[in-house]
Amino acid sequence: MLKINKNYNNLAESYLFSTVGKKITEYSAKNPDAKIIRMGIGDVTKPLCGAVIDSMHKAVDQMADSATFKGYGPEQGYGFVRGAVKNYYGSFGVSLADNEIFISDGAKSDVANILDIFSTDNTVLVPDPVYPVYVDTNVMAGRKIVYADANEENGFLPLPDENTNADIIYICSPNNPTGAVYNKEQLKKWVDFANANKSLILFDAAYEAFVSDENLPRSIFEIEGAKTCAIEICSLSKTAGFTGTRCGYTVVPNDLVFEDTSLNKLWLRRQTTKFNGVAYIIQSGAAAVFSEEGQKQVREAIEYYKRNAAVMTAAFDEMGIWYTGGKNSPYIWFKCPNNMYSWDFFDLLLEKANVAGTPGAGFGKNGENFFRLTAFGNYENTVEAMNRIKNMIL
C-alpha cells in the first residue's frame, strides 16, 4: 500500500500568505467599494527595465531562427550569465570562480532544493521570526529544528549561542521579515561559529541590492572564512523585478568540503539530475541586469522602492512606533500599537484603514505583537496608506 510522507502532517494547514490572501478576499466580498492598499506580500510593481526587455526580445528572435535557436542549455546556467554574476560580485570585492555559480529559477526554489544534498539527520537553526519556507521545507523532510531568539532587545539580529548545536544555519540579511541587516562584525561571529562547529550557513541574500550603507555587507563572502562554511542564495525577483519571470543564482564555493565530499560537486550532480536549467530567453534578460545600462535602470527601480520605505519610516517616526528595516531593506517591521496581537491588528488595519499587511505571528512566536509592511507598492498608494494608518492611530 502507498505510504505518504507524514511529515507534511506537521505543517500548518495553510501557507501564511495564502491565509492573508483569503482574509483580504473575504473582506473585499463583503465591502466591494473598499479601496484596499496591499502592503503585505513582497511582490514588486515596477516593470522589467528596458535593458532586460530589449535583451529578451533579441533572444526571442534568436529562438525563431534555426541558426541561433537554443535547445537544452547547461543545467548550471549559460556561461555568459554566470560570467555576469561573477563580475557583479567583483564590483563589491568578492572573487568567485565560474563553476561556483549556479543559475536557477529563483531563491525560493534553491532554498528548498539545496536540502536534497544534506542528510535528514542534521539539526537546523533558524531565527524566530523567520521566512516560513526555511521552516516548512525542513519540516517536510523531518529534520530537527531549533531557533535563534530574534527579538526587540537584539534588534532582531541574534548572534551565535555556544550552547546551541546546529548543522545547518539559516541567515537572511537584509532580513525577511524584519528588514534588519547584519554588519560585518556580527556576520564574522556566525562564520567563526560555523567553521568551529563544522556547520554550514545557508545565506539568503535576496535583498542585498537594497543595502545602501557601504559599511554593511551585501554578501557573506565579504567575510573572511565564509567560503569554507557558507552557501549564498540570491534572486533577481526584488533586485530587477523578476517575480513573474523567475531567475536567481546560488553560489557554492569549491572550498566547501564536508565528510571529504565537495558540496559544489554534490549540488552540480543534483542539478544535472533534477533540473533542466532556466529558459534561454529569461537568462538573456538576467544577463542584461548586470550590464552597465541594466544596473543603472534597476537602481532607479530600487531607489523608487526605497523612497516608499522612507515615507513609511517617517510616518512611524511621527507616530512614535518602534520599527526596524526601511533604510537598507524593502521591509518595515514594527511593533503593533498598544501591544496588540498581530492578527488582531491585521483585522483592525484592514477594517479601519483598508490597508493589508502581514501579521508578525505568521513568521514565528517572536513575531507576535509585530507587523510587516513592504515598500514594493507604488508611491501614491504608499503615501495614502501611511496617511490612513496615521489617521487611525494618532
pLDDT value at residue 101: 98
Report whether CATH 3.40.640.10 matches the domain 71-291. Answer: yes
pTM assigned to the model: 0.96
Residue 171 corresponds to which amino acid?
I
Strands 37-38 vs 355-356: parallel, antiparallel or unpaired: parallel
Q: Please give, one letter per residue, the 3-state secondary structure of the chain.
A: CCCCCHHHHHCCCCCHHHHHHHHHHHHHHHCCCCCCEECCCCCCCCCCCHHHHHHHHHHHHHHCCCCCCCCCCCCCCCHHHHHHHHHHHHCCCCCCCHHHEEEECCHHHHHHHHHHHCCCCCEEEEEECCCHHHHHHHHHHCCEEEEEECCCCCCCCCCCCCCCCCCEEEEECCCCCCCCCCCHHHHHHHHHHHHHHCCEEEEECCCHHHCCCCCCCCCHHHCCCHHHCEEEEEECHHHHCHHHCCCEEEECCCCCEECCEEHHHHHHHHHHHHCCCCCHHHHHHHHHHCCHHHHHHHHHHHHHHHHHHHHHHHHHHHHCCCEEECCCCCEEEEECHHHCCHHHHHHHHHHHHCEECEEHHHHCHHHCCEEEEECCCCHHHHHHHHHHHHHHHC
Cβ atoms < 10 Å from Cβ of 169: 24
Q: Report percent pLDDT > 70 for the chain.
A: 99
Kindly report, residue by residue over 54-112, the tens digit of the pLDDT.
999 999 999 999 999 999 999 999 999 999 999 999 999 999 999 999 999 999 999 99
Q: Identify the pLDDT of residue 14.
A: 65
> Of 300, 306, 309, which Cα lies nearest the Cα of 373?
309
What CATH number matches the domain at 6-48+294-393, 3.40.50.620, 3.40.190.10, 3.90.1150.10, 3.30.365.10?
3.90.1150.10
What are the tens digits of pLDDT across the range 269-291? 999 999 999 999 999 999 999 99
Each residue's pLDDT tens digit in the chain (394 positions)? 999 999 999 998 667 888 888 999 999 999 999 999 999 888 899 999 999 999 999 999 999 999 999 999 999 999 999 999 999 999 999 999 999 999 999 999 999 999 999 999 999 999 999 999 999 999 999 999 999 999 999 999 999 998 999 999 999 999 999 999 999 999 999 999 999 999 999 999 999 999 999 999 999 999 999 999 999 999 999 999 999 999 999 999 999 999 999 999 999 999 999 999 999 999 999 999 999 999 999 999 999 999 999 999 999 999 999 999 999 999 999 999 999 999 999 999 999 999 999 999 999 999 999 999 999 999 999 999 999 999 999 7
Instruction: Give residue limits of the domains in the chain.
Output: 6-48+294-393, 71-291
